[in-house]
Amino acid sequence: MRKLHLHYRMRFAVLVFASVATMTTFGLDNGLMRTPPMGWLAWERYRCDIDCKNDPKNCISEKLFIDMADRLFEDGWKELGYVYVNIDDCWSSMERDKDGRLQPDPNRFPGGIQRLARYMHDRGLKLGIYGDMGTHTCGGYPGTTLDKIEIDAQTFADWEVDMFKFDGCYSNAIEQELGYPLMSKALNATGRPIGYSCSWPAYQGGLPPKVNYTQLGQICNLWRNYGDIQDSWNSVLSIVDWFFENQDVLAPAAGPGRWNDPDMLVIGDFGLSMEQSRFQMALWAIMAAPLFMSNDLRTISSGAQSILQNKMIISINQDPLGIPGRRILKEKVGIEVFWRTLSNNASALVFFSRRTDMPYRYKTSLSKLNYTTGSYKFTDVYTGKTDVLKDSTEFVVSVNPTGVVMWYVSAPGKLKYHPFIRGGKRHEPAYDAEENTFPRVFL
């Protein structure tokens, strides 16, 4: 026992040295997730429910993931891009196997993870799995300490897993600083393209100087910046508020292959009204956020499904430029305006009402929203209504309480400015704060 322990310590020292030596040339560079990943993730809706005896339909088991895969495959989700079926915490056995490898709980995953991955691949889907940089996962299952990073990465690759979420419970800042880059390298070293989701920044407050978004963009495909989402409007709104209060830091961090992750979509669950569901979908599109649903696709309402399957919003979310949008206006009456630049000189606008009384008739014009002179075609992404507006024409949008109006706007010519215009290099956005200062009401 002691001997084993010493052996591990030695390996740990070697790994630390290696990581420091190669830090500057690290890079996930796996070519994955050039647009935000889309799919389904178990956590928010199913948590650590392992009671398959009393709750067989909802417990964390291969049956749950097969059920969701079947729904993604059969109900039109896959064609829209929802291809990841992601396992979260509580999938593993409480013990590693005799070779030190993680193994799934034998009762809940009798077929094993590899067979589950093949089930996904046979249907054009992908499988994601979960681990934790630390002694234990958040749910108390075996964690991945620094000495286990290589073996775990290889195990996931052997299982033909396509994505890996690396949580950060039960580790300190130094271990995380070593572990997250090491795992990136270890995943790359397997030769299998595995999308890499890092919870690291969420454990370090999500902001510089503790968080280095340049480095994250080099080692992770997506990262959780902030706390876990819950099935409530308060939670969804607090996440959006945090992201846009910190948009000057966060928006430039994202781009093709590297995304901020405000956490799962809770649309189709219990806590959001239809208006609030439309809000989450709209804002996740503005943020260029990963779209991982956490809901029950077997029983989802048609209303929730139609929001999640809205093609125009998905195409805004998946815009190939991958430039996150910004909040450009905060009116005292509780109206906020969000804007995202899109390819083909187009843009997206979201009008949001924070009010809790009645629909607010918000009067503005495109020129007040800093659009240049010209005529613009716009489409209301939720109603499908299309119209043409001159930049100077005053118009009224009626915005429901805790709801949004979202437009896809085709620009006639060049926009006045392009925030976050990037140079040729992938990881060095030429973000110019000066250039993006709205003359009037920029936030």
103 vs 97: CA distance, rounded Å: 6
215 binds its own copies (CB under 8 A): no
- List the one residue from 93, 114, 230, 367 that touches its own copies (CB under 8 A): 230
| Stretch in the footprint of its own copies (CB under 8 A) among 113-121, 167-175, 310-318, 356-364 | 356-364
Least CB distance to its own copies at residue 307 (A): 13
Taking CB under 8 A as the binding criterion, the range among 13-21, 67-75, 230-238, 435-443 that sits at the site for its own copies is 230-238
Q: Which of residues 396-435 bind its own copies (CB under 8 A)?
A: 396, 400-403
User: Binding string, 31-50, against its own copies, x = CB under 8 A?
Assistant: -------------xxxx-x-
Q: What are phi and psi of 84, to 5 degrees?
A: -80, 135
Please state the φ and ψ torsions of residue 82, each to the nearest 5 degrees: -75, 90
Nearer to its own copies, 270 or 425 (CB): 270
Q: Which is nearer to its own copies, 260 or 400 (CB)?
A: 400
How far apart are alpha carbons 1 and 71 in whole angstroms? 47
> Of these, 30, 114, 190, 232, which contacts its own copies (CB under 8 A)?
232
Using CB under 8 A as the binding rule, the residues of this chain from 130 to 149 that contact its own copies are none
**By CB under 8 A, residue 334 contacts its own copies:** no
Residue linked to tokens 């979260």: 88
Size of the site for its own copies (CB under 8 A): 34
- Rounded-to-integer distance, Cα 58 and Cα 52, Å: 8
What phi, psi does 407 have (nearest 5°)? -120, 140
Residue 268 corresponds to which amino acid? G
The tokens describing 102, both together, are 């993680």
Residues of this chain, 295-324, that bind its own copies according to CB under 8 A: 301
Residue 260 tokens, joined: 């901020």
Q: How far apart are CA 246 and CA 131, in angstroms?
A: 28
Query: Least distance to its own copies from the beta carbon of 53, Å?
Result: 12
Beta-carbon contacts of 285 under 8 Å, excluding residues fewer than 6 positions away, are 313, 314, 316, 317, 340, 348, 406
- Annotated active-site residue 241? The verdict is no
CB of 269 to its own copies, least distance (A): 7
228, 296, 380, 432: which one is catalytic? 228
Tokens of 311: 């093609």
Identify which of residues 46 and 376 has a Cβ nearer to its own copies in the complex: 46
- Would you report the helix, strand and coil content of the chain in percent, each value rounded to 5? 35, 20, 45
Q: Which stretch binds its own copies (CB under 8 A): 7-15, 148-156, 202-210, 274-282?
A: 274-282
394 binds its own copies (CB under 8 A): no
Of 113 and 406, which has the nearer Cβ to its own copies? 406
Q: Where are the beta strands (DSSP E) in 19-158?
A: 38-41, 84-86, 126-132
User: Catalytic pick from 167, 261, 269, 319?
Assistant: 167
- Tell me how far the alpha carbon of residue 133 is from its chain's centroid: 19
β partners of residue 156: none
Cβ nearer to its own copies, comparing 140 with 256: 140
Residue corresponding to tokens 């919870």: 199
Choose one: 170-178, 246-254, 271-279, 327-335; the region binding its own copies (CB under 8 A): 271-279
Segment contacting its own copies (CB under 8 A): 61-69, 314-322, 337-345, 353-361? Answer: 353-361
Pick from 62, 152, 269, 319 the residue near its own copies by CB under 8 A: 269
CA distances from 332 to 56, 335, 354 (A): 49, 7, 10
Q: Which residues contact 263 (CB under 8 A, 6 or more apart)?
A: 44, 224, 226, 228, 229, 239
Work out whether 383 is an interface residue with its own copies (CB under 8 A): no
Q: How far apart are CA 319 and CA 322, in angstroms?
A: 6
CA distance 293 to 45: 9
Closest separation in Å from C-beta 59 to its own copies: 11
Per CB under 8 A, 391 contacts its own copies: no
Tokens of 264: 């799962």
- Is 270 an interacting residue with respect to its own copies (CB under 8 A)? yes
Q: Answer for the pair 370, 419: CB distance below 8 angstroms, yes or no.
A: no
**Among residues 24, 25, 299, 356, the one that binds its own copies under rule CB under 8 A:** 356
Among 214, 273, 386, 437, binds its own copies (CB under 8 A): 273
Residue 152 annotated in active site: no
What is the binding site for its own copies (CB under 8 A)?
44-47, 49, 51, 54-55, 58, 230-235, 269-276, 301, 356-359, 361, 396, 400-403
Active site amino acids? 167, 228
